Structure 1
Amino acid sequence: MKQIFIAVFLVIYSINLYAQTLFTYKGEKVDKEEFLRAFYKNNTGDKSEQAMREYLNLFIAFKLKVKAAKDMRLDTLAGQKNDVQNFRAQLEEEYTNDEKMIRSLSREAFERSQKDIRLSHIFIPFDKNATRRATSYTNGVFSDTAAAFAVAQQAYTALNNKENFTAVAMKYSQDPSVETNKGDIGYITVFTLPYALENIAYNLNTGDYAPPYKSNLGYHIIMKTGERPAFGRMSAAQILLAYATQPTAAEKAAQSRLADSLYSIIIKGGDFEALARQYSGERNAAATGGLMPDFGVGRYEPVFENAVFSLQKDGDVTKPFETPFGIHIVKRIKHQPVATDTLQINTLFKDQVLQDSREKMAREQFAKEVLNKTGYKKIFQNDEELWNATDSFLNNNRIIPLKGINEKTVLFSIGADQVTMSDWTAYVQETRRTTILPYNEMMKQFVALRANSYYRRNLEKYDSRFRDQVAEFSDGNLLFEVMERKVWNKAGEDKTTLKKYYDEHTSKYMWGESAGVIFFTVADKTTAEEIRKDIQPYIKKWKGLSESTSGKIIADSARFDIAQIPGINTSIQPGKLTEMVTDSSDGSVNFVYIINTYKGPDQKSFEEARGLVMNDYQAVLEEKWLTELKKKYPVKVNEKVFKSLVQ
């Protein structure tokens, strides 16, 4: 109950200190923006002046009750503090990692996934393992980045001089595939390329090329040659008649003839899967019948993708076509269009972002933001002296004061915290038990760790959304506590007053058309259906069902108004069962067995009406308390501001 109650009131609460005041109470101010946000969260239909006025009264009541709770110092209770601290700790994770950046990158990935772009590529490597193409360059690679950069600049200059990209690629590119594709690498989509190259590609206009980009392998020049709506993903099966390492013309011709024969069999109704098992040279073809892992744009060579993606419907088969690997015959199993629903962004892309190089970028970006927000300041500037002192500590297990540095020397500050030499050496000693890094790398990690710790402890200062959510939870928790003390417990504990209230209002508590029933709750639909086939044995022993079935079947007997009975149908007669009603949250099934019916009206006894009486009496207590609060905390509404909201 507590969680539900708090949730209801959290959605009517938010804070904005920089707006027109809508109402005041006992020195407190509430601005119009705070009220409007709460109103629109809770009211998606009626926006009339009457609806706003009614909601304003509810909002004022909420504020006064929380004010009363704080004046009673309920916020100092240990339970209240623990609840808020636990909530804060759970919420910290959302605000102290790169979640914001991950969401941004997921949205970016979604937007890029909506189109495929065609690229041409020139690659000038400086890593000896990056290419195997034989050229006039020594061993086909450059031994230093300067030489590679010089050639990349030559290629870029040639493009700037309006030379054809294909000709420049053939002359300068060391990509092994350039001999066959002439620099055209075909269509790509999001996650096809390393993120840095993807960024370049997706920010080019068609026909434009980018300056040389340096990766850890070499220099890249990318040109965008076209774009199209995203193709999506393909499920397919193939028969691959693979070539030998250096096939002869005769061997190729033999594979081509075999491919033509297999294709002829297939189009006449032959079993593609059986042929793939027998003839395909692809790994695992015998086990899979040629079925390939699902793939999207940019996964295979353009000639392969062009052939497969041109298939118009599921079940279509390509004519035999050649790639450097052999001759292929591919059957389209199923085409999966790209998702266009923005509500699926996190579901579709968050995991991919986290597994991609962009996740590292997100972490690094967040770390920079934390350092900037917390005001990191390096105070001790002499790194060489610091590293010497650190060595001295590790050798002697204590800090031996050196020139300009001792255990109390402040190395840097993070916000109001000052981090000293003794803090640093403690970190070094602990860290070196599991890993050994250069001191400068360890210091980067140490600074980031201290900054993140300070940021967590002071999140309210740095993030208004976090501050507001914690405040909202705290006030909701206080509201529950004060309502228990002032209203709910009083009504529940005072049976004499409840009975008196019932006696004074008996006419409110009448039975209308009603029924005496046995109410069944069954764990699953199958069990419920079995019970309903022969209900009488269960009727006779309904009191012990929960224990005898380990809670799988629960039954209770009571009288209900007809409107309260689930699954009601037109025939309400003794011995009848109502329709089954499934609870979507857990799959359990409810239905009712009718014992007898009553036309009404009949007087409800106090025990029969007790729940309703308690609710009504709680409302009386709450109204009385609220009247007292309005006297204690006089409310003044700025009608001019309120009218502006309505307008």
Structure 2
Amino acid sequence: MLPLPHSPMIRLGYTLGVLLLAVLGVACSSSPKTTEPPPSAPPSDDTVVAHYADTTLTLAELDSAFIDAAGGPSAAADSSLQAYRDFLDRYLHFRLKVRAAYDAGLDTLPRVRREVHDYRQERARPQLLREEVYEPLARTLYERRTQAVDVSHILIRPASSPDTLTAYRTAQAIADSVGQGVPFGDLALRNSDAPAAREEGRRGYRGRLGYVQAGDIAKPFEDRMYALSPGETSDVFRTKFGYHILKVHDRRPAEQPIELAHLLRRPQGDSAATRRLLDSLRTKILDGTLSFAAAAREYSQDPQSASKGGALGEVVPRALPSPLRETVATLDSVGAVSESVQSRFGYHLLKLIDRQQRPSFDEAYSDLKDRLVGRPRAEQRTAALARTVRTEVGASTDTTRLLATARAASADSLARPLLTYADTLSGAAPPAATLGDSVYTIDQMAQHLMQTDGGAQTTLAELIESFLNEKALQYAATRRAQTDPALRQNIEEYRDGTLLFRYMQDSVWAAAARDTAGLRRTYRQNRTKYQFPERVRTLALRAPADSVLRPYATLYGRDSSVTAVLDAAATDSLISTDTAYVTDRSADVYQSVRAAADGEATGPLAQGDEWLFLIRDARLPPRPMQFEEARSRVVQDHQDRLEQRVLRRLRERYDVETFPERLRPPVSDAPTAP
């Protein structure tokens, strides 16, 4: 099926257009089967089954549309030959309307072009960024995260922006001292600007960060950390925090989390008795006479986990105290229960609830991407992609014109004056930048600045870079949509659906709504069709819970006063009221009022996520609808008449000819081999 657009009006109309095909699918499965025998020589896929103007429709094209409309090959195979022939006319009408829209130039309308552009970007850009930005970075993270690295670092922050040379020289002198054998921790303690370097007990004391993994730190730091062997020290390098030197102490395989439960006993002077109790409990757990969860709830002295059957949730083994970590390593299967083991907290029984396996890359991709979105490494790779596109297709900026418009002396000046430019523009906006064969105006750059987070603090140089990068990414997404067959087809279908809506809006829907005389004529000609059936006028009170409605039921039951109920509901934010006209076609929840007497109440009654309290008012006999009462139905009928008139004109205009006799039967009607 074709995708739906963004804008509410386009989406509504396009839904109606797509429903043309969806309705065809319903018709396909519900039409009676024909008894006509199949042709003796089945037609081939390139058989022409219709032509109009300079266009032919082949059996293969019709098959593809039929399968989509029916909901898949199986549903199509269960349809009749007659339904297939009906579909030929209906699908052809769809194509005729789209052709008429193109011939009318509706595809050149700025609003249509913008809708299609936005949809193309919405579909193609995520694919582009996944393949060119996120997937390569995520794969690197995935591969690196098999190892954790024990690392220390020294940070030297520049005292001010221009003072980077002094900071670099300081960092280089420290690196030289490391090379001469001065202990890294001593140098970090005396020189590092990292906040924790001189705070004993904190992670980072004397520069020691401990074990870290890819994705937890800045990319330049991570790149060097994984490139060094244990004992090696890096060169001086820069991050947004300042200049760093790092040293790798160790590497080890990264551990997968496990799910663990425990039962804890704190000995009260007699550790032997505590061990005997745990041994006894373990025996009962292993022979099945007592579950671990029940034992933990009754005997564990860890109040936080005892109520949860001893569950500790997910833990990383290395985070456990050493005796527990060693014991967990001996639990070789899910469900295994350890012997009693002592830690500084007391004596434990441990149960391995689950041991996570490392997910595949595809399984891990979503979480890995979350680590990347908005991070510098992803933003830098995105910018690099944009610059590559700019180099490929060519880009330029009229900096002189931009400076003059912003009344700025240099590109380092703030672009803020452009924020008012879009409001004061008179006449045609002058060009300011190009990308490939596209020309962009100062007005477009000003609009981009308005949509930029922190635009008031953006310099002209930053604006130029940001604007051209954005246009380069749009260009790359458009190119992707043109070269990817599935994307190209999807966007063409979207464009056709958008044009179908525009054409129907102009030639049928809006025309019918404006044609007052035609609506009146349709009403008069079909007056007997527009009738109210017997109805029961009912007051309905709605609330999110039955308990909210019960006081109203009590109130009405006491004095049968609708006025009292409405007055009380008027000040109750949880209650909404409306008048329902109940017929034999109303939802089941309303049917009870049809058998009730006037003034009788029923409920609370459940309906989906809400509750109803219903008070029957009166029975209304059948009667004809007045024009205004029937208007929505009249408009629909008049639209149908206008649409048939439009279709007759289109068939004449495009010299339509169909060949239903050339259709082969669906699979279910085809003769079977003996």
Normalised to the residue count of structure 1, the TM-score between the two structures is 0.53
Query: 1:626 aligns to what?
Result: 647
The equivalent of 2:595 in structure 1 is 573
Q: Which residue number in structure 1 is paired with residue 482 of structure 2? A: 461
CA contact (8 A) 1:511 1:604 kept: yes
Partner of 2:54: 27
- Residue 227 of structure 2 aligns to which amino acid in structure 1? N
- Checking the alignment, whether the CA contact within 8 Å between 1:498 and 1:614 is kept in structure 2 is yes
Matching residue of 2:537:
517
- Answering whether residue 607 of structure 2 is matched by residue 582 of structure 1, we say yes
Secondary structure of the 2:92 match is: helix
Q: Which residue of structure 2 lines up, in the alignment, with residue 329 of structure 1?
A: 348
Compared CA separation, residues 305 and 237, structure 1 to 2 (3 A): same
Q: Quick one: structure 1 residues 496 and 101, their matched pair in 2 at CA, closer, same or farther if it must change by over 3 Å?
A: same
Counterpart pick for 1:275 among 297, 301, 304: 301
SS at match of 1:355: helix
Of the three residues 6, 9, 14, the one matched with 2:14 is: 6
Matched residue of 1:643: which SS? coil
Instruction: Indicate conservation of the 8 Å contact 2:263/2:306, yes or no.
Output: no
Aligned to 2:371: 355
What's the secondary structure of 1:520's corresponding residue? strand
Distance 2:394 2:515 in 1: 65
Residue by residue over 1:403-436, the C-alpha shift from the partner in whole angstroms, topping out at 9 and shown as x without a partner, is: xxxxxxxxxx997699xxxxxxxxxxxxxxx99x
Q: Secondary structure at the match of 1:292?
A: strand
**Separation in 2, partners of 1:447, 1:482:** 36
Q: Distance in 2 between matches of 1:589 and 1:34?
A: 50
Task: Say which SS state the counterpart of residue 517 (structure 1) adopts.
Answer: strand
Output the CA distance in 2 between the equivalents of 1:299 and 1:508: 77
Q: Structure 1 residues 74 and 578, CA, compared in 2 at 3 Å: closer, same or farther? A: farther
Q: 1:53 aligns with which of 85, 90, 102?
A: 85
What corresponds to 1:479 in structure 2? 500
Q: For 1:397 and 1:503, locate their aligned partners in 2 and report how far apart those are by CA, in whole Å.
A: 74
Is 2:261 aligned against 1:236? yes
Report the CA distance between 1:628 and its aligned residue.
1.6
- Kept in 1, the 8 Å contact 2:508–2:639? The answer is yes
Q: 1:376 to 1:562 in 2, by over 3 A?
A: same
The answer as to 2:308 corresponding to 1:292 is no
Q: Secondary structure at the match of 2:595?
A: coil
Residue pair 2:260, 2:351 contacting (<8 A) in 1 also? yes
Residue number in structure 2 paired with 1:218:
229
The one-letter code sitting in structure 2 at the alignment partner of 1:275 is Q
Are the counterparts in 2 of residues 236 and 331 from structure 1 also a CA contact under 8 Å? Answer: yes
- Spell out, residue by residue over 1:335-386, the C-alpha distance to the aligned partner (whole angstroms, 9 max, x if none): 699999x9xx88x8623553279x999999999998999994999xxxxxxx
- Give distance in 2, aligned partners of 1:232 and 1:641: 64
Question: Within 2, Cα distance between the matches of 1:255 and 1:28?
Answer: 95
After superposition, the C-alpha distances for 1:216-274 in whole angstroms (9 at most, x for unaligned) are 34399999xxxxxxx996252464999xxxxxxxxxxx998586256258669686776
Aligned AA for 1:234?
E
Q: Counterpart of 1:74?
A: 106
Secondary structure in 1 aligned to 2:540? strand
Q: Secondary structure at the match of 1:61?
A: helix
- Alignment pair present for 1:489 and 2:505: no
Q: Secondary structure at the match of 2:129?
A: coil
What residue number does 2:576 align with?
553
Give yes or no for contact 1:236–1:294 (8 Å, CA) kept in 2.
no
Question: What amino acid is aligned across from residue 61 of structure 1 in structure 2?
Answer: H
Instruction: Give the aligned partner of residue 410 of structure 1.
Output: none
Could you say which residue in structure 2 is the equivalent of 1:97?
129
- SS state at 2:312 partner: coil
Instruction: Check whether the contact 1:517–1:594 (CA below 8 A) recurs between aligned residues.
Output: yes
Whichever residue aligns with residue 218 of structure 1, its letter is: S
- The count of corresponding residues between Structure 1 and Structure 2 is 478
Q: Is the 8 A contact 1:102 1:350 kept in 2?
A: no
Q: Which amino acid aligns with 2:100?
A: A
Q: How does 1:121-520 map to 2 (within 5 A)?
A: 215-218=226-229, 234-237=259-262, 239=264, 257=272, 260=275, 263=278, 275-276=301-302, 292-295=312-315, 303-305=326-328, 310=333, 312=335, 318-321=338-341, 329-332=348-351, 350-355=366-371, 376=392, 452-456=473-477, 458-512=479-533, 514-518=534-538, 520=540
Distance (whole Å) between structure 2 residues aligned to residue 465 and residue 612 of structure 1:
40
1:389 alignment counterpart: none
Q: Which amino acid aligns with 2:348?
A: I
Contact 2:556-2:562 at 8 Å conserved across structures: yes
Give 1:275 shift.
2.4
CA drift at 1:455: 0.8
C-alpha contact (below 8 Å) 1:499/1:606 kept by paired residues? no
Question: What TM-score do the two structures reach when normalised by structure 2?
Answer: 0.51
1:510 touches 1:604 (CA, 8 Å); kept in 2? yes
Pick one of 23, 43, 46 that aligns with 2:70: 43
Secondary structure at 1:354 match in 2: helix
CA-to-aligned-CA distance 1:180-200 (integer Å, 9 cap, x gap): xxxxxxxxxxxx9979xxxxx
1:310 and 1:556 map into 2 onto residues whose CA distance is 64
> Distance in 1 between the 2:666 and 2:519 partners?
42
Q: 1:84 to 1:307 in 2, by over 3 A?
A: same
Counterpart AA for 2:370: L
State how far apart, in whole Å, the 1-side matches of 2:376 and 2:666 are: 46
SS at match of 1:563: coil
Partner-residue secondary structure (3-state), 2:537: strand
Kindly state the Cα deviation for residue 94 of structure 1 after the two structures are TM-superposed: 2.6
Identity of aligned residues (%): 17
Give the Cα–Cα distance (whole angstroms) in 1 for the partners of residues 85 and 549 of structure 2.
48
- Partner amino acid, structure 2, of 1:50: Q
Judge conservation of contact 2:121–2:474 (CA < 8 Å) in 1.
no
Displacement after TM superposition at 1:528 (Å): 4.5
Three-state SS of the structure 1 residue aligned to 2:227 is: coil
**Deviation of 1:553 (Å):** 0.6
- AA matched with 1:260: R
| Residue 562 of structure 1 pairs with residue 573 of structure 2 | no
- Pairwise CA RMSD of aligned residues? 6.4
In structure 2, C-alpha distance between the alignment counterparts of 1:59 and 1:299, rounded to whole Å: 65
Relative to structure 1, is the Cα distance of residues 446 and 373 closer, same or farther in structure 2, using a 3 angstrom cutoff? closer
Contact 1:568–1:578 (CA under 8 A) maintained in structure 2: no
Task: Give the unaligned 5+ runs of structure 2.
Answer: 1-7, 23-44, 154-178, 180-211, 216-224, 231-249, 285-294, 396-408, 412-433, 440-456, 459-464
Supply the AA of the counterpart residue of 1:9.
G
CA offset at residue 334 of structure 1?
6.4
The offset of 1:98, in angstroms, is 1.1
Asked if 2 retains the 8 angstrom alpha-carbon contact of 1:518 and 1:592, the reply is: yes
**Match for 1:595: what amino acid?**
D
Structure 1 CA distance for aligned equivalents of residues 514 and 569 of structure 2: 30
Q: Are the counterparts in 2 of residues 515 and 594 from structure 1 also a CA contact under 8 Å?
A: no
Judged with a 3 Å threshold, the aligned counterparts in structure 2 of structure 1 residues 521 and 63 are, in CA distance, closer, same or farther, namely farther
Q: Which residue of 1 aligns with 2:94?
A: 62
The CA deviation string for residues 465-497 of structure 1, in whole angstroms up to 9 with x for no partner, is 444444433333333333233223333344443
Does the 8 Å contact 2:296/2:309 carry over to 1?
Answer: no
